[in-house]
Amino acid sequence: MSTTSAPTTAIATPTAAPATGTSPVRLAAGLALIAFPVLLVAGVATSPPQASDAPADYVASLGTDPGLTALSAGLLHYSWVAFALGVLAIIGLVRGPRGRVVVPLAAIVTSFSAIQLSGLLLSDWFTGAAARAMPLEAATALTEGVWADPWVSTWTISGRVVGFVGIPLVIAALARAGVVSWWLLGVSVIGFAGFVVPGTYGVLAGMAVATAPMIVVGVRLIQRAAARVRREELAAA
């Protein structure tokens, strides 16, 4: 009998190769951010016309044309859904130390606000139905009572943060990180300034200009979704 041990053969366990394909998350997020201003402007453009800014005229406008009300509210709702989903992916655009804190903060705050704002659009259907089911005075009183509720008021304020503060904040954070140019922040601010222009077209143009920089951000995400970029990122990690 041999007293020597049989040679042991080492079997190497293959390690899983890192994924270097196209990033579907970045691609989807980029498309969502590109769709956001398109859907938003379309929703504003199809808003039912109203005689004035008085609450009664607002309620009456939503009740006059149910189809147009639904179209506008639906477009606005899904615009903010697209923004809420897409904006979280901008965290992955940061490659250096600059923006490590402010970009995630801007993404989380604006995503939360967009979710709040998208949910508020459900009120358009209820307000329109109330305008058709009861006298205008009663429908207006009902609507004003709901919007005066402290919970709804807080919901509204938190939702509007993304519209007037969140988008410039996202652009500023990405500019600080070197992802986009600072001049895009000026474009967004100028767009929101257009809201003071009287008339529907002023608001429409202002909304289009203010949100257009998000298309650039969406393109950046799509560019970073490429397999070549993914390989470069993994090699630098």
Total domains in the fold of the chain: 1
Are 192 and 168 a contacting pair, CB within 8 Å? yes
- Give the pLDDT confidence score for residue 136 in this predicted structure: 93
Please compute the mean of the pLDDT values over residues 106-128 and round it to a whole number: 92
The answer to whether residue 4 scores a pLDDT higher than 70 is: no
Please compute the mean of the pLDDT values over residues 203-222 and round it to a whole number: 92
Give just the sign of the alpha carbon dihedral 138, 144, 150, 151: positive
Instruction: Please report, as a single letter, which amino acid is at residue 234.
Output: L
When pLDDT is cut at 50, 70 and 90, the band that residue 200 belongs to is low
Determine, yes or no, domain membership for 18.
Answer: no
Tens of pLDDT, residue by residue over 50-70, are 888 889 999 999 999 999 999
Three-point CA angle 67, 68, 71, nearest 5°: 90
When pLDDT is cut at 50, 70 and 90, the band that residue 13 belongs to is very low
Are 132 and 66 a contacting pair, CB within 8 Å? yes
Residue 134's SS3 state is coil
pTM of the model: 0.83
| Domain span at 113 | 24-236
The answer to whether residue 1 scores a pLDDT higher than 60 is: no
Determine, yes or no, domain membership for 5.
Answer: no
Tens of pLDDT, residue by residue over 34-43, are 999 999 999 9
Query: DSSP label at 165?
Result: I
Residues 6+ apart with CB under 8 A from 84: 111, 112, 114, 115, 118
Determine, yes or no, domain membership for 207.
Answer: yes
Instruction: Please report, as a single letter, which amino acid is at residue 169.
Output: L
Among residues 62, 48, 67, which one has the least CA distance to residue 136?
62
Burial pattern 96-134, b for ≥16 Cβ within 10 A else e, equals eeebeebbeebbebbbbbbbbbbebbebbeebbebbeee
Determine, yes or no, domain membership for 182.
Answer: yes
Please compute the mean of the pLDDT values over residues 211-237 and round it to a whole number: 78
Backbone angles phi, psi at 179, to 5 degrees: -80, -40
Tens of pLDDT, residue by residue over 150-184, are 988 888 888 877 777 889 999 999 999 999 999 99
Determine, yes or no, domain membership for 122.
Answer: yes
d(CA 114, CA 226): 28
Are 59 and 234 a contacting pair, CB within 8 Å? no
Percent of the chain at pLDDT exceeding 90? 59
Most distant CA pair in the chain, distance: 106
- Give the pLDDT confidence score for residue 10 in this predicted structure: 47
Please compute the mean of the pLDDT values over residues 26-53 and round it to a whole number: 93
